[in-house]
Amino acid sequence: AQTVTQSQPEMSVQEAETVTLSCTYDTSESNYYLFWYKQPPSRQMILVIRQEAYKQQNATENRFSVNFQKAAKSFSLKISDSQLGDTAMYFCAFILTSNTGKLIFGQGTTLQVKP
C-alpha cells in the first residue's frame, strides 16, 4: 500500500524566518512524482511545488524548496522568508506513474506564521 506520513500536525514560525515541514512516504514502486499542496482557510488546494522522483536535483519555486531523499523516502518542504500569507495547512502527496489519476495525500501540517 502507498502511504504518506506528515509527523508534525502543527507548526509555527515567526514572519521572515525559515521553517521546514517534514514528509515521508512509502511505496514499492520506483516511478512517481511528489507534491506539496497548500490549503488556506478558503479550503481551495493550491499546488506549491512538485518533484520528479527520477531527478536528483531538488525543486525550487521562489521561497519554497524541497529536500528530496529518495533512498530514505523523505520529501521535506522548506519555506524561506515566511510571510503571513503562508499561514495554511500543507499537504504532502505523491502519484505513481502507473496510476496518474490518484494523488495520495498525507494528513497535513497546519502552519501558522506569526507577525
Partner 1 sequence: GAGVSQSPSNKVTEKGKDVELRCDPISGHTALYWYRQSLGQGLEFLIYFQGNSAPDKSGLPSDRFSAERTGGSVSTLTIQRTQQEDSAVYLCASSLVQGAFGNTIYFGEGSWLTVV
State in angstroms the smallest separation of the CB of 102 from partner 1: 5
Q: How many CB atoms lie within 10 A of CB 46?
A: 11
- The sign of the dihedral angle between the CA atoms of 22, 27, 32, 37 is negative
Task: Return the residues of window 38-97 that contact partner 1 according to CB under 8 A.
Answer: 42-47, 50, 52, 91, 93, 95
**Separation of alpha carbons 91 and 78, rounded Å:** 13
Q: Which three cell numbers stand for residue 107?
A: 494528513
Nearer to partner 1, 3 or 12 (CB): 3
Stretch that binds partner 1, among 19-27, 64-72, 77-85, 102-110 (CB under 8 A): 102-110
Nearer to partner 1, 12 or 18 (CB): 12
- Could you tell me if 104 and 3 are in contact, meaning their C-beta atoms sit under 8 angstroms apart? yes
Nearer to partner 1, 18 or 31 (CB): 31
Rg (Cα) of the chain, in Å, rounded? 14
Residues that bind partner 1 (CB under 8 A): 4, 6, 33, 35, 42-47, 50, 52, 91, 93, 95, 99-108
